[in-house]
Amino acid sequence: MTGNSGNNRLLAILGTYKPEPWRGRYSLSRLFFNFYLLVMGSFVAIAIFADFVISTAVKGITDDYTSRFMRGTVLLIEEELFRRPRSEWMRTIKALDQKFAYRLDIVDRWTLTLPPKEAEKLDSGELAIDAQGDIIYHRLKQTPQILVVGPISPERNPEYQRGMPLDLRISLLTWSLIGVCLAIVVWLWVHPVWRDLEAMRQTARSLGEGFFVARAPAMRSSAFRPLAETLNGMAERIQRLIATQKELSSAISHELRTPIARLRFALEMLAATDERAERERMAGAMEADLDELDGLIDSSLTYARFEREQPDLQLTEVEFAPWLEAQVEAVRVLARKLDLQVDSATLPPLLHVELDRRSMPYAIGNLLRNAIRYARARVRVSAETADGEIRVHVDDDGIGIPVEERDRVFSAFTRLDRSRDRSTGGYGLGLAIARLVLEQHNGRASAGESPLGGARLTLNWPLSQNVTES
């Protein structure tokens, strides 16, 4: 009753939970404009900074060129002024100003504020230039008056302009072309990225909703191909784990019914009898059923671990003949009266083989247990090398495996019809575990006909594997 109420409470909790709906999608326009503004803003900032650096670097050269270029004009204006009395200089300079495309003026020295270097030039009789490099100052010989020429640039003389300045129009046209070209480039780059992101979003959404056969399509952008491959690998792994979980849950629930039913029957019989011998027999049967349950759980957990984790191999070189004999000796006690032999005579002397010393014993041991379970009198373990592989054969003189069943016996919870009896049938997991171990070693497990008349189970994997040891 307590268990049922707990289950009901759990179902009530789970029943009130509803996953959040999937909202939104990747907006192509937002992605484009955000990226475009980022790229364009970065480009403009770099251009302004580069212009500042270049202007600062060449300012001295530009000022020197301006001084040389304007020196003759300034000296001619000065000579024209000194031909007249100083009282007529302002009228003369205004008349000359009408003939030039830039301004001319005369000011007192004390009204000017120049950088120290330029002020020193001015006082020594040389031409001085303002910080913008557009106005020229010249001291009229030894007088306190200064001839001002400029601004020279047309954009700083509005009265001489006719509409938008040419350089401004060129700049606007240039930046417009740059903006359009950059927009086209950004679009051509962003559109496939958006398409790939949307495809992966749809795939992730399908996986999140439980549609585990969904896969990301081929990515058009090389930047997302590794991500798509990782996503597909994850989906395959999830699908495989869920399939394994369902398979294990279904198979284990089926396998548990028989020993549990026998336990329940034995308990009823135990309560119904007072005979000591019968009670002892029932207790022994119950203990055997418990051992069976324990073996089933242990085998199921081992299979699930190999199927789920797929750990990196820790390969170790071992001298193979002694190692194989040690594995056989570990299970010899199970053979009882069977003739269990190891034949390593065909192996090269002192042969060393790379294997994982944690997982490979599972494969060898499960093949030996399978052979011992079905053999009538003899089990033979042999090994050989061929085509760069090590091959281990486990032969028995039992009833063998039909050709059409030889691949299926390596699937989990597979038992042939003739082996339904628990005394010989096992759980159908030993050979499945051996297959998983050999797949980790880049090898395979196979079944065939034995020279002894029964079944031959073979494990083969490369002698030297290109796997980095962990």
Q: Which residue has the higher pLDDT, 92 or 152?
A: 92
pLDDT given for residue 380 in this prediction: 93
* Cα–Cα distance, 46 to 215 (Å, whole number): 42
Locate all alpha helices (DSSP H) within 22-107, ordered by sequence.
Answer: 28-82, 89-97
Asked if pLDDT for residue 470 goes beyond 50, the answer is: no
Asked if pLDDT for residue 393 goes beyond 90, the answer is: yes
Q: Which amino acid is at 144?
A: P
Give the whole-number percent of the chain exceeding pLDDT 70: 75
Listed as own residue / partner, the contacts of 334-341 with beta carbons closer than 8 Å and 24 or more positions apart are 334/368, 334/369, 334/372, 335/372, 335/379, 338/372, 338/375, 338/377, 338/378, 338/379, 339/377, 339/378, 339/379, 340/372, 340/379, 340/380, 340/381, 341/378, 341/379, 341/380, 341/381
pLDDT given for residue 437 in this prediction: 83
How many Cα atoms sit within 13 Å of 321 on the Cβ side?
Answer: 11
Flag the least confident range among 213-222, 346-355, 372-381: 213-222
Q: Which residue has the higher pLDDT, 107 or 142?
A: 107
- CA distances to 156, 206, 207, 379, 407 from 212, rounded to whole Å, are 70, 7, 5, 44, 27
Instruction: Give the tens place of pLDDT for each residue, 185-235.
Output: 878 777 777 787 788 888 888 887 777 788 888 877 777 788 888 888 888
Asked if pLDDT for residue 422 goes beyond 50, the answer is: no
pLDDT given for residue 112 in this prediction: 79
Please, which pLDDT band fits residue 139 given cuts at 50, 70 and 90?
Answer: confident
Flag the least confident range among 12-26, 109-123, 143-157: 12-26
Instruction: Give the tens place of pLDDT for each residue, 289-330.
Output: 787 677 667 666 666 666 656 556 678 888 989 999 998 888
- The end-to-end CA distance of the chain, in Å, is 51
For CA atoms 154, 158, 160, 162, the dihedral sign is positive
What's the rounded mean pLDDT across residues 53-75? Answer: 68
pLDDT given for residue 1 in this prediction: 44
Instruction: Give the tens place of pLDDT for each residue, 89-129.
Output: 888 888 887 777 777 888 887 877 787 887 787 777 788 87
Asked if pLDDT for residue 6 goes beyond 50, the answer is: no
467 torsion bin: left (phi>0), alpha (psi -120 to 50), beta (else): beta
Flag the least confident range among 167-181, 290-304, 451-465: 290-304
23 torsion bin: left (phi>0), alpha (psi -120 to 50), beta (else): beta
Q: Which residue has the higher pLDDT, 129 or 66?
A: 129
* Cα–Cα distance, 138 to 158 (Å, whole number): 24
Flag the least confident range among 20-24, 203-207, 364-368: 20-24
Please, which pLDDT band fits residue 426 given cuts at 50, 70 and 90?
Answer: low
Asked if pLDDT for residue 9 goes beyond 60, the answer is: no
Coil, strand or helix at 465:
coil
Integer Rg of the chain from CA: 47
Mind giving me the DSSP string for 381-445?
EEEEEETTEEEEEEEE-SS---GGGTTGGGSTT---GGG-SHHHH--S-HHHHHHHHHHHTT-EE
Asked if pLDDT for residue 237 goes beyond 60, the answer is: yes
Listed as own residue / partner, the contacts of 155-161 with beta carbons closer than 8 Å and 24 or more positions apart are 157/101, 157/102, 157/103, 160/101, 160/102
Name, of 12-26, 63-77, 408-422, the range with top average pLDDT: 63-77
Please give the model's pTM, rounded to 2 decimal places.
Answer: 0.45
pLDDT given for residue 392 in this prediction: 92
pLDDT given for residue 296 in this prediction: 64
Name, of 67-76, 276-285, 322-331, 433-442, the range with top average pLDDT: 322-331
